[in-house]
Amino acid sequence: MIKQAALLRLGWMWVTAVVALWVADGLFDSIWFDGPSSLAIGALLLTLVNLTLKPMLMLLSLPFIVMSLGLAIPLVNGLVLLVVAEMVTGFHVSGYWMAVLAALFVSFMTFLMAVASGQSLVRVRQASNGGPSEPSKPSHNPQQGSESSKPGRGWSSSNQADDVIDVEVKEKDDRQ
């Protein structure tokens, strides 16, 4: 049985793909849809392929990705988008390099929407004391009970600092 949270996440991924492909359609002349149904079906198929087939493609192309220092990832994304465009009637991409460019744009848009909606693991926290702040570190408390007595479980579970990226912002003082 599929959990409700997994279905909600799949639905959210589909909605973000629809929005990103719709914006890409309006922004680029070389990618277009014949109608809203082809856009919705294309986004659904792109979401499903990204969840199932793309991880296998990334694993198979891992040596090439490592040798190119990650620059091959957009090429794989473009291939995935081009394959989806070929499978969906009414979804048109003019060529491979346009598919790579559109895939970069769609990836960037889905990332921005995930961060804006809180679906991403990237979070920014502002220090409240106004001065320089040290990044929070997990505290080691051996008196915590049975959880800390297990090997590898000594970190406090109440502090979730490993889920947060701390960013310190300072204003420049021009009054000198």
Residue 110 contacts residue 119 (beta carbons within 8 Å)? no
Q: Tell me if residue 140 falls in helix, strand or coil.
A: strand
Q: What is the CA radius of gyration of the chain?
A: 22
Give which of 145, 162, 163 is closest to 154, Cα–Cα: 145
137-140 long-range Cβ contacts below 8 angstroms, 24+ apart: 137/161, 138/162
How do residues 98-136 score in pLDDT, each as one tens digit? Answer: 999 999 999 999 889 888 887 766 555 655 555 554 554
Residue 115 contacts residue 108 (beta carbons within 8 Å)? no
At residue 151, the pLDDT reads 46
How do residues 6-54 score in pLDDT, each as one tens digit? Answer: 888 888 889 999 999 999 999 998 999 999 999 999 999 999 999 999 9
How do residues 41-85 score in pLDDT, each as one tens digit? Answer: 999 999 999 999 999 999 999 999 999 999 999 999 999 999 999
